[in-house]
Amino acid sequence: MKTENGHKPPRQEAVGGSDILGLLGAATYTWRMVDKSAEFTWRDDDLTTTLLCSNADDIPRTEAEYLERLCGDALSERNQALASLSWNGAKFQIDYQIRTFDGRNIWVEERGLRINGDGKKANHVIGVITNIQTRKIREEQAGYHASFDSLTGLWNKTRIAEGLNHMLATAQRYDRQASYLVLSITNIMDINTTYGYEAGDLLVKAVANRLKANVRKPDICGRISGRAFGIGLSDSGTEEMQTIAERILETVSGSPYSTQHGDLHAKFSIGGSALSQKATSAADAMQQAATAIAHSSLLGGKFVAYTRDLPDLKPRQVKADLTRDDVVNALNDRRITLAYQPIVHADTRNTHHFECLLRLRRQNGELTSAAEFIMAAERLECVHLLDRRALEIARETLINFPSIKLALNVSAATVKNAETSKDYIGALKSLGPECKRVNVEMTETVALADPAMAGEFSMQVRALGCHFSIDDFGAGHTSFRNLMAIEADEIKIDGSFIRDLSLTPHKQVFVRMMVDLAQTLSIKTVAEMVGSREDASLLTRLGVDYLQGYMFGVPAPSPQVSLKGEPKQAKSA
């Protein structure tokens, strides 16, 4: 075929497999055992050069030369992976670091497939090695934001709670003392109003820098709210806590903070609790310190140590708490929203469904996660209103995204009250055929408190076509009999068993037992709080069905779907 001017049209080149692998920074290889020695050859020198960030003269031509580039425990992991190929068609997938020709270390992912072999030993394997350095950086950033405050670089509230639990356990085990302080900037709203939020952020960062310079190791320090910092003190009783509190207060308020708006003078309140004497958990310590700092605010910032006879101030006097009017007003103002976190298939990493997580936006714009207001709403006997609102938002999401499935948490108070439970079931029923796209989650501790009640609620939910899931499985030590009585479709293994799973053998035993129990009853399993590729790979091998964690996607204002409306595949998995 020719064009009007007699010339042939330009040839359209097809994109081949090598082009795609090149874009991925990947290279393929073959591995064979010949006369008890391994032959390791690359199929494409150009792709190998891209993978190793090297030049053609620096490509390792034998397996021995390639193994010399492996870093840390990579050699042992790779040998174990090869040894695991105990049948033809067996596969492995591992991550490790290798050294490039210029001395840098990069992360790669290796996938291998056994083609042939006798018995348990492979003699022919094909594989692909992919440069995943960018992916690893994203995972590290996600992990960073899960533990650290992005403005100050200090620990966030979740990480502080973990640190306090560790300090408390250490103090109890070795009969030592520990304390927890909270320092709050009391005039931050005035500064935001007068100079703008940028000035307020600069002040918070400056206070954080002074704290970092004055908090000794192994003490811990973090930002626990928009204006408050938490400090965990080891080997510190009530007297030492007061001395340190006064020193910290002098450090942060002794001189003004220089900004482009001039010198800013920060005002503070400070309070604390002796962990070893009065608190039995991080939650106790935080609540006690909140009571102490509320009294400090009334005393003009003077340090107050928590004691059991210290009056607990009403919620309106402590910003961190809510009143019933706060919840109702937030509902009326449409400041209750949902964030959607993907839960992926363990084998393919494709999104299976999204968990809906409640969020409350305060009138000052601060976004509060469910953990900070659900308990208050339960105490104020209005949490059923939040559950209903979550269901209403979920209904709109199901309409707007017809290809996705959603998981909704239902609170203990809603289920235990006959009237609110009936109303919730009625609201579910109104979803009609969309019920089959909804998974209702109830925490294990609620289910254990009254298995008959949980079983009845499960039956009603499942009769509508919804799935029913037990959340935080393992935290309450569910018995085989209780699990059978409740008849769940799915269990979510508590994150405390998942964190650092690949590094903790006894956790692996517990998870294997849970998975075996679930499989016996034909129940699907979800592992929550998956934080590393190693843990994800191990969970897949243990038979877990679905995975959830920041490495697969952070909670977002709307479900992350493709242009075609299908849930996106987890990019970092």
* Domain shared by 186 and 165, yes or no: yes
> Residue 145: which pLDDT band, with cuts at 50, 70 and 90?
low
* Domain shared by 498 and 381, yes or no: yes
Contacts of 118 (CB under 8 A, 6+ apart): none
What pLDDT digit, counting tens, does each position of 259-278 carry? 777 788 899 999 999 876 55
Is the pLDDT at 531 greater than 90? The verdict is no
Task: State the CATH number of the domain containing residue 123.
Answer: 3.30.450.20
Residue 438's pLDDT is what? 96
Residue 147 CB neighbours (<10 A)? 15
The arithmetic mean of pLDDT across residues 89-110, rounded, is 87
Number of domains comprising the chain? 3
Is the pLDDT at 478 greater than 70? The verdict is no
**What is residue 335's three-state secondary structure?**
coil
* Three-state SS sequence of 254-321: CCCEEECCEEECCCEEEEEEEHHHHCCCHHHHHHHHHHHHHHHHHCCCCCEECCCCCCCCCHHHCCCC
Q: Are 126 and 29 in contact (CB under 8 A)?
A: yes
276 located within any domain? yes
Q: Which of these, 244, 204, 197, lies nearest to 223 by C-alpha position?
A: 204
Q: What is the mean pLDDT of the chain?
A: 82
**Domain end: 131, 157, 185, which one?**
131
The arithmetic mean of pLDDT across residues 15-43, rounded, is 73
Q: Which domain holds residue 148?
A: 139-317
Is the pLDDT at 68 greater than 60? The verdict is yes
194 located within any domain? yes
468 located within any domain? yes
* Domain shared by 289 and 409, yes or no: no
Which phi-psi region, left, alpha or beta, contains residue 507 (left: φ > 0; alpha: ψ -120 to 50)?
alpha
Distance CA 527, CA 525 (A): 7
What pLDDT digit, counting tens, does each position of 70-95 carry? 988 889 888 888 888 888 888 888 99
* Domain shared by 75 and 198, yes or no: no
- Tell me which of 464 and 33 has the higher pLDDT: 464
The arithmetic mean of pLDDT across residues 125-135, rounded, is 88
* Burial category of 20 from C-beta neighbours within 10 Å (exposed 0-12, middle 13-18, buried 19 and up): exposed
**Domain end: 317, 346, 363, which one?**
317
* Domain shared by 210 and 342, yes or no: no
Dihedral, CA of residue 283, residue 289, residue 291 and residue 293, to nearest 10: -150
* Domain shared by 292 and 382, yes or no: no
One-character DSSP codes across 103-160: S-EEEEEEEEEEEEEETTEEEEEEEEEEE-HHHHHHHHHHHHHHHB-TTT-SB-HHHH
506 located within any domain? yes
286 located within any domain? yes
Lowest pLDDT segment from 386-395, 470-479, 556-565: 470-479
562 located within any domain? no
395 located within any domain? yes
* Domain shared by 464 and 358, yes or no: yes
Q: Are 107 and 133 in contact (CB under 8 A)?
A: yes
Strand partners, 78: none
* Domain shared by 216 and 86, yes or no: no
560 located within any domain? no
**In the chain, what percentage of residues exceed pLDDT 70?**
85
Copy the structure tokens of residue 489.
Answer: 């479709």
Strand partners, 155: 148, 222
* Domain shared by 113 and 217, yes or no: no
Is the pLDDT at 11 greater than 50? The verdict is no
* Domain shared by 273 and 363, yes or no: no
Task: State the CATH number of the domain containing residue 192.
Answer: 3.30.70.270
* Domain shared by 292 and 145, yes or no: yes
> Residue 365: which pLDDT band, with cuts at 50, 70 and 90?
low
The arithmetic mean of pLDDT across residues 347-367, rounded, is 84
Largest CA distance in the chain: 98
Is the pLDDT at 163 greater than 60? The verdict is yes
| Direct distance between the N- and C-terminal alpha carbons of the chain, in angstroms, rounded to an integer | 47
| Residue position matching structure tokens 């939020």 | 197
> Residue 147: which pLDDT band, with cuts at 50, 70 and 90?
confident
* Domain shared by 352 and 477, yes or no: yes
The arithmetic mean of pLDDT across residues 500-509, rounded, is 84
Q: Are 400 and 462 in contact (CB under 8 A)?
A: no
Q: DSSP strand E in 464-550: where? A: 467-473, 490-493, 524-527, 546-548
**Domain end: 260, 282, 317, which one?**
317
Task: State the CATH number of the domain containing residue 368.
Answer: 3.20.20.450
